[in-house]
Amino acid sequence: MEPNPLLRQLPQIDALLRRPELAGLSPAAAAPLARKTVEEARQRILSGEVKDAPSAEDLCAAILQKARGTRLREVLNGTGVVLHTNLGRACLSEAAARAVVTAARRYSDLEYDLASGARGARDCRAEALLRTLTGAERALVVNNNAAAVLLALTAVAGGGEAVISRGELVEIGGSFRIPELAEQCGCKLREVGTTNKTRLRDYRKALGPETRAVLKVHTSNYRVVGFTESVSLPQLAELAHSRRLPVIQDLGSGCLTDLWGEPTVQACLRSGADIVTFSGDKLLGGPQAGLLAGSARWIEPLRRHPLARALRVDKLTLAALEATLETYLDPRRAQAELPVPRMLSETPETLRRRGEALLSLLGEDFPAALVETEEPAGGGSLPERRFAGLALAVTPAEITPEELARRLRTGERPVLGRVRGERYLLHLRTLWDEDLPCLASALREALP
């Protein structure tokens, strides 16, 4: 068979590598990328996908792009899901973002006590804030809540048993399942009760010489409803404390304000939990982190445990967390400045004003209208709550809504919305006012 003549127009690898465009790349780095790029061009020619061979300039541009890799891209979130795990969960406040930049660019007193001129603890500022905000005797910060549970269970119940209700054997996405995590901690889970009903006497019967802790897991991403019964934290704490055992409460979504009817960290501590663990980037609205708050008796040993060093957070996280926690000292400030609480309690008037601003940027002939919607909080939080929301519904005439979604997703500034039947929806709750002009141009460009 006659070889495709276009193939002969592809440059030699050596010739490509000598081009000035690639002068900034080491030959060792450039050669494999050049081979890969030319091979991809060959395949496109052979498959008939292209009618011209790419120029050497195009090939060099493709090689450079491969060398730079693809970075984390900013996405306009039109899904209405505030805590979208695939989109990075919580967005930080301006103050938290500024703190990150400062900590990143210069030296800081990360582990240095300026007053005494001696070494200090890296999470002492976050700990002080957590103590003030939750009333806990001690607090500790690790990489995420999974790490917090890992540390607590390993240190407290490793080599022994932790008693847990069968109604609380939670999975938070495939990579975090309480039973598998406990196994990793060397801790045997002693399951009590049934999926829907667990009573105090079930716990009492299970306590034995091997018991090291009672574990309570907040069902933050599901609810057991109907014919149910569970044991309240105060009752459980009373039972555990009568045997000198601690109650570890994995609170998951971790609220400091009772805006959404979720148990707050401070309420759990008042109810007798000895260690409460929760996420920094769920309802709290801070960076990814795992926070532990509790009594000195049970938190102090965790701080000294070898795992604590392996799970510790870096200075950028601490900077963001300190700034986030600081906002909670004034609840009104937290509500106004932290994107998560602000978005979750956005008023219908604000959403409508945002929607109308977007509509007017799009112009009269754009095929869109505002529709009322219902939105989940996301991030394994508030499973039963639906927030009344508002979305821009686009009804494209000449392309399918799926094609519109694809164009917006793969554009210069990616936009994510949702396809619902014949319409493409952009929920206004998770969009920023300042991004509306950019969003409007992306929408206008995407429609033929």
Which residue number, 218 or 354, has a Cβ lying nearer to ligand PLP?
Answer: 218
Instruction: Select from 139-147, 357-365, 370-378, 412-420 the region that touches ligand PLP (CB under 6 A).
Output: 139-147
Q: How far is the CB of 337 from ligand PLP (least distance, A)?
A: 22
Which residue number, 252 or 389, has a Cβ lying nearer to ligand PLP?
Answer: 252
CA dihedral 233, 236, 241, 243 (to 10 degrees): -160
Residues 397 and 375 sit within 8 Å (Cβ to Cβ): no
Q: How far is the CB of 227 from ligand PLP (least distance, A)?
A: 23
Q: Which of residues 289-308 bind ligand PLP (CB under 6 A)?
A: 290
Q: How far is the CB of 280 from ligand PLP (least distance, A)?
A: 7
User: Half-sphere exposure of 156 toward its Cβ, with a 13 Å CA cutoff?
Assistant: 29
Instruction: Select from 140-148, 319-327, 357-365, 387-395 the region that touches ligand PLP (CB under 6 A).
Output: 140-148
Q: How far is the CB of 263 from ligand PLP (least distance, A)?
A: 11
Q: How far is the CB of 264 from ligand PLP (least distance, A)?
A: 15
Which residue number, 216 or 429, has a Cβ lying nearer to ligand PLP?
Answer: 216
Angle at 277 between CA 274 and CA 283, to 5 degrees: 135
| Residues 231-270, mask of contacts with ligand PLP (x by CB under 6 A) | -------------------x-xx-----------------
| Residues 343-382, mask of contacts with ligand PLP (x by CB under 6 A) | -------------------------------------x--
| Residues 174-193, mask of contacts with ligand PLP (x by CB under 6 A) | --x-----------------
Which residue number, 11 or 285, has a Cβ lying nearer to ligand PLP?
Answer: 285
Instruction: Select from 214-222, 236-244, 382-390, 406-414 the region that touches ligand PLP (CB under 6 A).
Output: 214-222
- Choosing from 126, 156, 162, 170, the residue that interacts with ligand PLP (CB under 6 A) is 170
- Choosing from 33, 146, 248, 390, the residue that interacts with ligand PLP (CB under 6 A) is 146
- Choosing from 211, 220, 264, 327, the residue that interacts with ligand PLP (CB under 6 A) is 220
- Choosing from 37, 165, 266, 279, the residue that interacts with ligand PLP (CB under 6 A) is 279
Query: By rule CB under 6 A, what count of residues binds ligand PLP?
Result: 16
Which residue number, 248 or 443, has a Cβ lying nearer to ligand PLP?
Answer: 248
Residue whose beta carbon is closest to ligand PLP: 252
Burial of 48 (0-12, 13-18, 19+ CB in 10 A): exposed
Torsion sign, CA atoms 329, 150, 380, 428: positive
Question: By CB under 6 A, is residue 430 in contact with ligand PLP?
Answer: no
Residues 53 and 45 sit within 8 Å (Cβ to Cβ): yes
Which residue number, 246 or 280, has a Cβ lying nearer to ligand PLP?
Answer: 280
Residue ranges binding ligand PLP (CB under 6 A):
144-146, 170, 172, 176, 217-218, 220-221, 250, 252-253, 279, 290, 380
